[in-house]
Amino acid sequence: MSDYGHELIFGSFTTPGNDDPDRTVGLAVLAEQVGLDLVTFQDHPYQPRFLDTWTLLSFVAARTHRVQLSANVTNLPLRPPAVLARSVASLDLLTDGRVALGLGAGAFWDAIEAMGGRRLTAGEGVRALEEGIEVIRQIWDAEARGGVRVDGEFHRVVGAKRGPAPAHAVPIWLGAYKPRMLALTGRRADGWLPSLGYLQPGDLAKGNAIIDDAARGAGRSPRDVRRLLNISGTFSTVGRGQLNGPAEQWARELADLALGDGVGTFKRQLLHYSNFY
């Protein structure tokens, strides 16, 4: 059992398609109306069939009043961390503290490189992400003395002014699957955010163990890291597999994920995509 004692949160994970912007925004508004806690959107800046995620989040923020908002997850290789930090803090101030920051090290490198981003190896991506987190946290630490200074291998900020501070302690959630990313999650992040469809049986337990060990090694409690999960599935009258069946089956399986694997936040995918680029 790996119950980390987090309050259960339910949300949506929406593809930001631009073929019908009203539907994309409408799904976010509906999520709030039906009582969900969180609205998230994919972030693939190289995809011309998608609305820009941070523009969309700002628009949705103005159309909602209660739900928390996040990219799921932000493509850091195409979003400079110092600028991203100010974007996040600004939206958090405008929404009175409703923003979270999902971050990813990057994937689909051909598309990232085509957009002007730097192609990185898996190890380089993890190191770049850790540097980016440091830049972001220093920008948000508006009361600290001196400017932001991170002289990294991939991100270099030399004396930038700090601020603004966000309206609340914005959590940073990492989309992580491999051991180095999971260890970084335990050391530096506030949440682990994988997608169930990319996991094999037992991967949640293995990931939790790596995160917990890394958190303890960094002087943190494993409870400092919320466990989030993107899910997809179908409601039907007959069970046909995991999260594919009647509501009672969904309730049992989600309870097992919460109590057995410590998942505290579930986000259901609402729209599907076929090709990224």
In the numeric block, the tokens 């899910």 are attached to 231
CB 96 within 8 A of CB 167: yes
- Whether 57 and 41 have beta carbons less than 8 Å apart is answered as yes
pLDDT of residue 156 exceeding 60, the answer is yes
Note every long-range contact of 129-133, with CB atoms under 8 Å and residues 24 or more positions apart, other chains counting: 129/76, 129/103, 129/104, 129/105, 129/174, 129/181, 129/184, 130/184, 130/188, 131/81, 131/155, 132/76, 132/81, 132/84, 132/103, 133/81, 133/103, 133/172, 133/188, 133/189
Helix, strand, coil percent content, the chain, rounded in steps of 5:
40, 20, 40
Residue 244's pLDDT band (boundaries 50, 70, 90)?
confident
The residues with which 13 forms a beta bridge, in sequence order, are 40, 269
**Per-residue pLDDT tens for 92-148?**
999 999 999 999 999 999 999 999 999 999 999 999 999 999 999 999 999 999 999
Quick: pLDDT tens for 39-89. 999 999 999 999 999 999 999 999 999 999 999 999 999 999 999 999 999
State residue 276's pLDDT score.
40
